[in-house]
Amino acid sequence: MRLPVLLTLQAVWASLCHAMQHYPAAWGHYDVCKSQVYTEEGLTWDYMACQPEAADMTKYLKVTLDPPNITCGDPPETYCALENPYMCNNECDASTEELAHPPELMFDFEGRNPTTFWQSTSWRKYPKPLLVNITLSWNKTIELIDDIVITFESGRPEQMVLEKSLDYGRTWQPYQFYATDCLDAFIMEPKTVNDLTQQTLLDIICTEDYSRGYVWKYDKTVRFEIKDRFALFAGPRLHNMASLYGQLDTTKNLRDFFTITDLRIRLLRPATGATMVDENNLSRYFYAISDIKVQGRCKCNLHANSCVFDKEKLTCECEHNTTGPDCGRCKKNYQGRAWSAGSYLPIPKGTANICIPNNVGPVNCECFGHSNRCSYIELLNTVICVSCKHNTRGQHCQLCKLGYYRNVSAELTDENVCIDCNCNPFGSDSDRCNGTGFCKCKKGTTGAKCHECLPGYLWDNGCKSRVCDDELLRCQNGGVCHNNLRCQCPAGFTGLLCEKPRCESEAGGCRDADSGQAALPLPPAPLLLLPPLAFVLQWGGCWPATL
């Protein structure tokens, strides 16, 4: 392949790589906490914001029911069929595996037939309300990333509240109210998630969307819509995650809204399917849940990309010199500046905000405004700026990149602090210049940028020495001086000043201009075709006839 083709392919590849780096699909992975990079100080670590992968969080929870003996089957009882409330000979018996409905059946793998579910005792004590609290505890802060979906086999409750805790169950806040009649049940106007806006996203609403119907085959789920709330910032198909990440970064309330340690489902009134409760047939009324979905990830404050489940507890595997269950503080001896969470911005790598050792001199990431990212170099026990912009370089972006020089009239924080040397590529030895912008010139060249010629030289993609003129350096044998750079020689002559006679290769030899004698004939034609000899004959001018 020829060189120009190679260069073209390389250029295409480089621009492709550049384009891919900025392709939106690469946004928001945050799956790497650090990577090795080469800087002027050698091999070092570059730190990025990172977070664990999202997962099915129901694998890691503890479930508690209140009252504790609310699960059916102890003592055994009969209840009405889910499909037909007048067939009331089904049995719930906690002591028989096939007839028991313990809470873990809300979290087992679904897809089997028949569906497995937890079930409460029936509403025997009507009109005393049938109240059940189902508490899911993680003993760890987690961030929700998808809708919470609860599947009821009993018909969806006529009244329920979904609550969250952010302090391991000490205090609770409602997430959403659900009722067949919001005004009647909670004195709230019925709303849906579609009524929310960016400004009202954190409002707690009561919805009637998930309470209607009784054992509708395809209408069994109660949902808390996380994704619809995300979409208020990220767009309907969550294509603009940058906008959402930006909001999460800057708005603590928003971040906290999607963060939980516990969830509580407060079941307040079972499905009755009618305005009147049939007091003669109370074993029709109970709660049964076959599945609860909670998708999320460990909250590690963007300081860990993995979270392990060990001894019944989730823990972030903290990086960036942080520690604690949520990487919420700096390690001992790494408290050189106040702890802070990582940031999603700038996309796609974010900012790590690592903890730095106690004994580092200047603790700030001081880069004179040419970078907002620093990297701690363990070997040198120092903090350096990473990715200095505006053509700067150095530990604090205080120097100019090679090929640039310091603009003395600009402050160190000025975007125009470094000026392009702008050395003439033909006239200068390199693209670098000294502190006042002077380039290093090639022979015959002068000027600050090496774009002018010294006397005796002429510009021709650089300065070439003067070859001929009409005075002292005349072209000989009838040659004509062309732009003072070369003699245009007549057919029979060559040389700088047309001082040599030209070889006559067709005739098989050269005539020596000084002796005037005929040269010996050259060897026969096949030998002439030997490449080195052919080259010499074509380009090398005349050789002695004895060759």
Identify which of residues 150 and 298 has a Cβ nearer to Ca ion in the complex. 150
Q: Which is nearer to Ca ion, 290 or 295 (CB)?
A: 290
Could you tell me which of 153, 142, 399 has the C-alpha nearest to residue 294?
142
The residue sitting closest to Ca ion, measured at its beta carbon, is 116
* Cβ-based nearer residue to Ca ion, 101 or 303: 101
**Three-class DSSP labels, 51-68:** CCCCEEHHHHCEEEEECC
- What whole-number distance in Å separates Cα of residue 269 and Cα of residue 108? 25
Q: Which is nearer to Ca ion, 108 or 195 (CB)?
A: 108
Two tokens, residue 395: 């530990």
Over the window 2 to 41, marking each residue x when it contacts Ca ion by CB under 5 A and - when it does not, the resulting string is ----------------------------------------
Among 44, 51, 71, 116, contact with Ca ion (rule: CB under 5 A): 116
Q: Please name the residue ranges forming H helices in 137-265.
A: 182-186, 226-234, 241-250, 252-257
Q: Which residue, 105 or 385, has its beta carbon nearer to Ca ion? A: 105
Least distance in Å: CB of 192 to Ca ion?
28
Q: Is 301 left (phi over 0), alpha (psi -120 to 50) or beta?
A: left
Q: Please report which helix (H) or strand (E) contains residue 207, including its range.
A: strand 206-207
Residue among 107 and 123 whose Cβ is closer to Ca ion: 107
Identity of the residue, 105 or 377, whose beta carbon is nearer to Ca ion in the bound complex: 105
**Min dist. Cβ of residue 111 to Ca ion (A):** 9
CB of 110 to Ca ion, least distance (A): 5
Choose between 103 and 509: whose C-beta lies nearer to Ca ion.
103
Query: How many whole angstroms separate alpha carbon 235 and alpha carbon 228?
Result: 9
Q: Would you mind telling me the total number of residues written for the chain in this entry?
A: 547
- Can you give 444-502 as a three-state secondary structure string? CEECCCCCEECCCEEECCCEEECCCCCCCCCCCCCCEEECCCEEECCCCEECCCCCEEC
Closest alpha carbon to 505 in 480, 535, 484, 464: 535
Shortest Cβ distance from residue 119 to Ca ion (Å)? 11
Q: Cα–Cα distance between 465 and 389 in angstroms, integer? A: 41
| DSSP state, residue 98 | G
Which two structure tokens, joined as six digits, stand for 63? 């479930």
Q: How far is CA 247 from CA 240, 241, 252, in A?
A: 12, 10, 9
Tell me which amino acid residue 488 is. Answer: Q
CB of 291 to Ca ion, least distance (A): 5
Least spacing, CB of residue 116 vs Ca ion, in Å? 4
Site string for Ca ion, 241-280 (x = CB under 5 A): ----------------------------------------
Q: Which residues contact 393 (CB under 8 A, 6 or more apart)?
A: 40, 399, 400, 401
Between 292 and 439, CB nearer to Ca ion: 292
Instruction: Tell me if 322 contacts Ca ion by CB under 5 A.
Output: no
Which one of the spans 115-123, 132-140, 434-442, 506-514 is the region binding Ca ion (CB under 5 A)? 115-123
Taking each helix axis from N to C terminus, what angle separates 226-234 and 241-250, rounded to the nearest 10 degrees? 100
In the complex, least distance from residue 105 CB atom to Ca ion, rounded to whole angstroms: 5
Binding residues among 84-113 for Ca ion as defined by CB under 5 A: 105, 108
Q: Which stretch binds Ca ion (CB under 5 A): 116-124, 262-270, 297-305, 408-416?
A: 116-124
The distance of closest approach from Cβ of residue 152 to Ca ion in the complex, given in angstroms and rounded to an integer, is: 12
Q: How far is the CB of 101 from Ca ion (least distance, A)?
A: 10
Start-to-end CA span in the chain (Å): 37
Our CB check for Ca ion shows the closer of 86 and 109 to be 109
Q: How far is the CB of 109 from Ca ion (least distance, A)?
A: 8
* Contact between 290 and Ca ion per CB under 5 A: yes
The verdict on 82 binding Ca ion (CB under 5 A) reads no
Size of the site for Ca ion (CB under 5 A): 4
Of 10, 53, 62, 60, the C-alpha closest to 30 is: 53
Binding site for Ca ion (CB under 5 A): 105, 108, 116, 290
